[in-house]
A = this chain, B = another copy of it.
Amino acid sequence: MSDASLDPALLQRFTGIVGARHALTSLQDIAPYVSEPRGLWHGRTLLVLRPGSVDEVSRILQLATQTQTPIVPQGGNTGLVGGQMPDASGGQVVLCMSRLNTIREIDPLSNTITAEAGVVLQNVQEAAEKVDRLFPLSLASQGSCQLGGNLSSNAGGTNVLAYGNARELCLGLEVVLPTGEVFDDLRKLKKDNTGYDLKSLFIGAEGTLGVITAAVLKLFPQPKGKKVAFAGLPSVQAALGLFGLASEQAGGSLTAFELIGGRPYEFTLAHGARVVRPLASEWPWYALMEISSSRSLEDAGELMEAVLEAALEAGLAGDAVVSASVAQAQALWDFREKMSESQKPEGASIKHDISVPIASIPAFIEQAEKEVKCLVPGARLVCFGHMGDGNLHYNISRPVDAEDADFLALYRPVNDVVHAVVRQFGGSISAEHGIGQLKRTELIATAPPVAIDLMRRMKAVFDPAGIMNPGKVI
């Protein structure tokens, strides 16, 4: 697909649907849509469309299918795998969903919120809070990422342990199909066994099967109190033991369990802006735990104390602090959330967003480290993540004395080594970030051929003209 396909007459037809004001064509207006904050993904386009209604989305996709014009849906442009970025041809039209930003309804009795794709995640959280409810999906980018992107990438984050990922939080969807037809399944039902689960298919499809325009999401009662603990651990094996113990004692009240390696802890102390040192002593591993109580803050505190007492007695933790105020709890979370950016000043890094069965985490970490260091002696492992979900951000910073470029030249071989270990443990090479452009070739090469074949044939069912986000996922 070359620029030629976006001839002026066609541009004019697309523009006519949304109006000139919402059809961006100047380089300057387009710039924010063809690169992203981290600067890793770039693309080109001649046209960014900003529809203001489901009907406009429908007419855009209908025209796109008729004219075989590729469409790249984009939400908050925070995706990490390039799923939201047009290719370099200039022939793909960016469909910006930001103007569909209405919260259509909140129903605190049914515990649901119905919101459009362009609503910023934090606005969903805040709308829920106003009616004393919790919308638990929580990501570092929540101030700018949008619901449509969250659903299209089946977003995870720090609350999956207790509340599930985006797919599990979604009860109903409204989707514009590539033909322009609207699939309206905006129902507030926890139970519905009427045919195949189409909803789950669109969620996580990264805009390759249609465009999500609105969703019904689950709300939960607001916890009455939360306590956050930060513990120093002698080993990753102890982290596994602590997780088991905390799950056992706190059940569904354990709302987060984050594993933090010694090195990302050091990096964050050294480079994190305005971070507070969580513990006086230093440990090979750390855990951040959150307990949420439906009863009271005191109750959350007592439960946390009981867990930590048992952990210290069993030698699973060596030192621990518990937040004594909301501000302290926030400071501990802030430390965790600054972990990614605190890796930057240490030079180039090679990142992995993987999951393995929880019981395999210690063995995975041991073997992956061995193999990475064999390939890159001096490589510095920066491992942290959502241990309760088996999901690790298994990152590697360059050796202290290496050049960035030399290290990054090894991106693919390092990926290959790490992902081979992931597969050996029955894990996933994309736990929560998705496939996008970044992992498409690897997915196709390494997933079972029967799965790839089914996915391709399903893609053809939904999108016979192949206009939806081509070059992504499959």
User: Is B390 touching A194 in the complex (CB atoms < 8 A)?
Assistant: no
CB of A430 to closest CB in B, whole Å: 5
Q: Which of A116-124, A243-251, A343-351 contacts B (4 or more CB under 8 A)?
A: A243-251
Which residue in B185, B435, B450 is a CB contact (below 8 Å) of A193?
A: B435
Q: Which of A227-235, A274-282, A356-364, A403-411 contacts B (4 or more CB under 8 A)?
A: A356-364
- Contact-residue size bin, chain A (C-beta under 8 Å from the other chain): 35 or more
CB of A135 to closest CB in B, whole Å: 15
User: Is B247 touching A191 in the complex (CB atoms < 8 A)?
Assistant: no
Q: Which of A139-147, A310-318, A394-402, A456-464 contacts B (4 or more CB under 8 A)?
A: A456-464
- List residues of chain B with CB within 8 A of the CB of A447: 194-195
- List residues of chain B with CB within 8 A of the CB of A160: 190-191
CB of A303 to closest CB in B, whole Å: 7
* Interchain CA distance A293-B205 in the complex, whole Å: 38
Q: Which 5 A-B pairs have the closest CB atoms?
A: A251-B294, A252-B252, A109-B359, A200-B200, A192-B428
Residues of A whose CB lies within 8 Å of any CB of B are 107, 109-112, 153-154, 156, 160, 162, 164-165, 167-168, 177, 181-198, 200-201, 203-205, 209, 220-221, 223, 240, 244, 247-253, 292-295, 303, 355-360, 386, 389-391, 426-435, 439, 443, 447-448, 450-452, 454-455, 457-458, 461-462, 473-474
User: Is B357 touching A430 in the complex (CB atoms < 8 A)?
Assistant: no
User: Is A455 touching B195 in the complex (CB atoms < 8 A)?
Assistant: yes
* Interchain CA distance A183-B457 in the complex, whole Å: 15
Residue contacts A-B, CB under 8 angstroms, 11 given: A110-B358, A167-B197, A183-B448, A185-B451, A187-B428, A189-B356, A189-B357, A189-B431, A196-B458, A200-B200, A252-B252
Residue of chain B at shortest CB distance from A164: B168
Which residue in B110, B244, B292 is a CB contact (below 8 Å) of A390?
A: B110
User: Is A109 touching B240 in the complex (CB atoms < 8 A)?
Assistant: yes
Residue of chain B at shortest CB distance from A153: B193
- List residues of chain B with CB within 8 A of the CB of A189: 355-357, 390, 426-428, 431
Known: A194-B443, A432-B193. A295 touches B249 (CB 8 A): yes
Query: Could you list 10 further interchain pairs (A-B, Cβ under 8 angstroms) beyond the known A189-B426, A197-B203?
Result: A109-B244, A187-B428, A188-B358, A190-B355, A191-B391, A192-B428, A196-B455, A250-B294, A251-B252, A461-B461
- List residues of chain B with CB within 8 A of the CB of A426: 186-189
Residue of chain B at shortest CB distance from A171: B357
User: Is B428 touching A194 in the complex (CB atoms < 8 A)?
Assistant: yes
User: Is A473 touching B195 in the complex (CB atoms < 8 A)?
Assistant: yes
